[in-house]
Amino acid sequence: MRPLDDVFDALAGSAFRRRQRLGAADRAYLDEKGIGTVLLHAEDFVARRLAPAHPARDGEQTPWRGHPVFVAQHATGTCCRGCLEKYHGIPKGAPLTDAEQAHVVAALERWLKNALQSPSEHAG
């Protein structure tokens, strides 16, 4: 696993990752539910959709909208096992450990908190 500072430096070099933004509905959801609840959702999404060694529909398992965590996953390269390997150094083909799942959630938390603080720019 790469340190999150290194991951976010790499993400900043991707125009695609930098373009990800929370929409008004996602911001409202975060305001209403709070970051703690949204991170509990993130833990569940990661456990069910990303943690298996061979996730169902890998590469397509993360929707583009409908929850702020989904946007954060695309922004942080935690949307599929291929991106997780590329950006985070977590290889495909084995279930994610508890530590790896915690790393993914920490990346999501960092991005979401930054997104809330900075409406126009939040690469890391």
Which tens digit of pLDDT belongs to each residue from 44-71? Answer: 999 999 999 999 888 888 888 899 999 9
In a domain, 31, yes or no: yes
How many domains does the structure of the chain reveal? 1
In a domain, 123, yes or no: no
The predicted-structure confidence for 8-21, as pLDDT tens digits, reads as follows 999 999 999 999 99
Give me the mean pLDDT over the 73-92 stretch.
97
Predicted local distance difference test score (pLDDT) of residue 120 = 47
Residues of the chain above pLDDT 70, percent: 95
Dihedral sign of CA atoms 111, 16, 101, 50 in order:
positive
* Cα distance between residue 81 and residue 86, in whole Å: 9
In a domain, 51, yes or no: yes
In a domain, 124, yes or no: no
In a domain, 122, yes or no: no
* Mean pLDDT score of the chain: 93
Q: Which domain holds residue 52?
A: 4-117
Answer yes or no: is pLDDT of 119 > 60: no
- Write b or e for each residue in 86-103: b if 16 or more Cβ atoms lie within 10 A of its Cβ, otherwise e: ebbebeeeeebeeebbeb
